[in-house]
């Protein structure tokens, strides 16, 4: 089952590409779950291409009604974090996407629910279950973005 539905034709689809593969409608799809995964850690992708993909997915994710976007950026083989990871985290630190991202969970800093609650400032049971299910706890190759609610 696809994680999104096209609002025009009702077919299941993915978040990207922006246009529905069935009817070519470009309205953001409807989310069927509270989160979706975005894999930026693909062989041969440049940082610039990864960040363009991220920004398009971020726009669609917020407009689709998602609560969280799980970004798989990889860690890199350098031992100090990959370039995509560094670019994403620098953008978060500089508040480049403050209009779309309410908060970010740096997965490698979260080992248990109390650490997540401390990082997020409150009860986050559903998000913690998501992180457990997706094996994101203490994962240096992922970041979970808490999205600003859509104004639909």
Which residue in the block uniquely carries the two structure tokens 């990871």? 85
Evaluate if residue 118 carries a pLDDT over 80: no
- 8 and 77 part of one domain: no
Q: Using 50, 70 and 90 to split pLDDT, how confident is the model at 97?
A: very high
Rg (CA), the chain: 15
119 occurs within a structural domain: yes
Q: What is the pTM of this model?
A: 0.89
18-37 pLDDT, tens digit each: 999 999 999 999 999 999 99
Percent over 90 (pLDDT), the chain: 64
In eight-state DSSP terms, residue 95 is: T
- 43 and 116 part of one domain: yes
152 occurs within a structural domain: no
Q: Using 50, 70 and 90 to split pLDDT, how confident is the model at 152?
A: very low
Q: Can you give the residue range of the structural domain that contains 13?
A: 1-32
Nearest CA among 96, 125, 128 for reference residue 111: 128
- 124 and 74 part of one domain: yes
37-92 pLDDT, tens digit each: 999 988 788 999 999 999 999 999 999 999 999 999 998 766 667 899 999 999 99
pLDDT at site 4: 96
Percent over 70 (pLDDT), the chain: 93
Residue 99 falls in which region: left (phi positive, over 0), alpha (psi -120 to 50) or beta: alpha
| φ/ψ of residue 25, rounded to 5 | -65, 140
Give the C-alpha separation, 96 to 121, whole Å. 22
């Amino acid at each position: 089952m696809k994680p999104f539905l096209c609002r025009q034709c009702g077919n299941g689809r993915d978040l990207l590409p922006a246009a529905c593969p069935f009817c070519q409608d470009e309205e953001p799809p409807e989310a069927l779950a509270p989160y979706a995964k975005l894999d930026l850690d693909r062989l041969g992708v440049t940082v610039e291409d990864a960040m363009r993909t991220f920004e398009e997915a971020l726009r669609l994710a917020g407009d689709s009604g998602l609560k969280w976007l799980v970004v798989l950026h990889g860690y890199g083989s350098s031992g100090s974090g990959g370039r995509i990871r560094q670019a994403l985290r620098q953008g978060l630190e500089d508040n480049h996407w403050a209009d779309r991202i309410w908060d970010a969970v740096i997965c490698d800093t979260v080992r248990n629910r109390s650490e997540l609650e401390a990082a997020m400032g409150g009860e986050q049971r559903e998000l913690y279950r998501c992180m457990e299910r997706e094996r994101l706890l203490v994962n240096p190759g992922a970041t979970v973005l808490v999205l600003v609610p859509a104004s639909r």
